[in-house]
Structure 1
Amino acid sequence: MTPTILEPALGASIGGPGADVAALLRRLYRTLATVRRLDREAVALRGHGVLPGYVDSRGREAVQVGAALALQTSRDRAFPTAHEPGMSIALGADPAAVLRSPRGADAVEGPVVHAVGWALCAKLDRTGGCALTPLGSGAGSAAELRTALTTARTSALPVVFLSSSGRTEGAGMPVLLVDGADALAVHDATVKALNLARSGAGPVLIDAVLPGPTAWPARDPLVVCEQRLRLTGTVDDGYFAEVADTADALADRLRARLTVRA
């Protein structure tokens, strides 16, 4: 099957008619800033031996946060790997537990297998729920991924796969190609993917293309979101200062908790 490239259309389509895009951008920015600050703290703690297995997620926050905040948490479920802390934190998980979680080396099965199994149950129970799970490091072995993807396709399961590979060929399912540095675009693409999977079309792949090193810092996900948010005219410098102070305070509490238990 030749994958279909669906270009996300931003604007009034985001969140449906009458959606408050400025409010969504404020939520996205606050979550991105929090995840970035906690990631910076985790990297520092790794250097002190507190989180020896931590893998930093700088530059990938927009993919994790934008996708997570598109879920309808009353019926959808995310299955992130330990390499996507931003997704778990965006959904309200305890940051200390997330950052301390094993990095996937000792896992019997990856989250993609669990996501597909959960999606099968959701389809049979007719809950209207969709599973969201990243592909990539920590997602499972190659054999597990092949089996899970085949099962999802052949059974037309409501599951959205999230990739940052920049490759869409051979997916065998509809593909949404999106700018992985733009949290709003990722959010919009995920809403579209969830709606498509929920409609009975089967699994959908979101390929969030990340900018190369030469594109920084202009394509820093936090900078891109800030620029979009400032254009709404709903925030000023005080808002960004308050977000930074709140994230710093959370990082301080995180450091205290992790160093006491280390």
Structure 2
Amino acid sequence: MPLTTLETVTVAPVGLPALLRRLYRTMATVRRIDAGARALERRGELPGHRSVAGNEAVQVGSAAALDPARDLAFPAARDLGVAVTTSADAALAVHSRAARAVGGSPVAHAVAWALGAKLDRTGGVALVLLGPGITAREVDEAMTTAAVSHLPVVFVGPAAPSRVQGMPTTLVDGVDALAVHDATARALDRARTGGGPSVVEPVLPEPGAWGGRDPLLVCEQLLRETGTVDDGFFADVADTTDALAAAVLGRIRTGRA
């Protein structure tokens, strides 16, 4: 099976600053909402919250590569980063009832949707994130179906089952949102042009060891290197994310999620 080394960023410089600003702003929003949700959990107001801290680059970078006019994301339960990136209901993604609101396995839904997209020739690609709550059997069955039927699906997560199916797999730095975006965009284009399913496998530091490789700091450094932003941009992002997070968390506290 083709397996790349760790993916490096090769996004064209045209439009790069705007993309980095979007990625940073979205990840900052996710980080702020997640921090507020963890505070609610500590106070007993939000039982069962699953933090996405350290995984923002994977969720935001992959979802940001979608073409919203024809592609569709199938995240694991409570993938807050995907919800914020795709303008879905962030409060529902955070709330403890969100997992129960999802009917069935996202990988099964993604493969079924991809089959429809292939038959209808829409050019759409399903993006499915492999996370907690999805069993190895579900992933294996979904990848088998996708491989046999040559379906337009991109799996983001551990690639072990794909090795059996011979799917192309790209390893990517899981704390670099731009690298995740670039690798996912390539996989989406491949699927869109008839290349079939593939896997983007983010490589993340061990839990508790990612402080020096914070997704937000990595993106901030890349953005500052473009010379298109100053401290004012980051101050504005902080103010905006505070307001957005307050609105989302307020809905959760009042039971309107």
Give TM-score, length-normalised by structure 1: 0.90
Structure 1 segment 11-22 matched on structure 2, within 5 A: 11=10, 14=11, 19-22=14-17
Among 203, 208, 219, the residue aligned to 1:209: 203
Number of equivalent positions? 256
Paired amino acid for 2:71: D
Greater displacement, 252-261 / 228-237: 252-261
Instruction: Classify the secondary structure of the residue corresponding to 1:205.
Output: strand
Looking at structure 2, the residues matched to 97 and 47 of structure 1 have their Cα atoms a distance apart, in angstroms, of 19
Q: 1:140-190 deviations in whole A, cap 9, x for unaligned?
A: x33322221110000000000000579974452000110000000000000
Alpha carbons of structure 1 residues 120 and 168: separation in structure 2 relative to 1, 3 Å: closer
Q: 1:172-215 deviations in whole A, cap 9, x for unaligned?
A: 20001100000000000000000111121211100000123575
Correspondence for 2:115: 120
Looking at structure 2, the residues matched to 245 and 165 of structure 1 have their Cα atoms a distance apart, in angstroms, of 38
How far residue 246 of structure 1 moved from its aligned partner, in angstroms, is 0.8
Looking at structure 2, the residues matched to 130 and 104 of structure 1 have their Cα atoms a distance apart, in angstroms, of 24
Correspondence for 2:130: 135
Alpha carbons of structure 1 residues 247 and 108: separation in structure 2 relative to 1, 3 Å: closer
How far residue 261 of structure 1 moved from its aligned partner, in angstroms, is 2.0
Structure 1 segment 84-123 matched on structure 2, within 5 A: 84-100=79-95, 102=97, 104=99, 109-123=104-118
How far residue 7 of structure 1 moved from its aligned partner, in angstroms, is 5.4
Looking at structure 1, the residues matched to 161 and 209 of structure 2 have their Cα atoms a distance apart, in angstroms, of 19
Correspondence for 1:189: 183
Alpha carbons of structure 1 residues 109 and 255: separation in structure 2 relative to 1, 3 Å: closer
Looking at structure 2, the residues matched to 188 and 253 of structure 1 have their Cα atoms a distance apart, in angstroms, of 31
Give TM-score, length-normalised by structure 2: 0.92
Correspondence for 1:31: 26
Alpha carbons of structure 1 residues 236 and 106: separation in structure 2 relative to 1, 3 Å: closer
Question: Are 1:82 and 1:98, in contact at CA under 8 Å, matched by a contact in 2?
Answer: yes
Paired amino acid for 1:211: P
Question: Are 1:83 and 1:137, in contact at CA under 8 Å, matched by a contact in 2?
Answer: no
Q: CA RMSD in A?
A: 2.2
Among 125, 138, 143, the residue aligned to 1:149: 143
Looking at structure 2, the residues matched to 104 and 250 of structure 1 have their Cα atoms a distance apart, in angstroms, of 22
Correspondence for 2:250: 256
Among 224, 228, 231, the residue aligned to 2:218: 224
Structure 1 segment 159-198 matched on structure 2, within 5 A: 159-164=153-158, 169-170=163-164, 172-198=166-192
Q: Percent of counterpart pairs with the same letter?
A: 52
Correspondence for 1:61: 56
5+ unaligned residues in a row in structure 2: which ranges?
Answer: none
Looking at structure 1, the residues matched to 6 and 137 of structure 2 have their Cα atoms a distance apart, in angstroms, of 30
Instruction: Classify the secondary structure of the residue corresponding to 1:117.
Output: helix
Q: 1:74-102 deviations in whole A, cap 9, x for unaligned?
A: 00000011242111111001221221264
Instruction: Classify the secondary structure of the residue corresponding to 1:27.
Output: helix
Instruction: Classify the secondary structure of the residue corresponding to 1:261.
Output: coil
Correspondence for 2:234: 240
How far residue 256 of structure 1 moved from its aligned partner, in angstroms, is 2.1
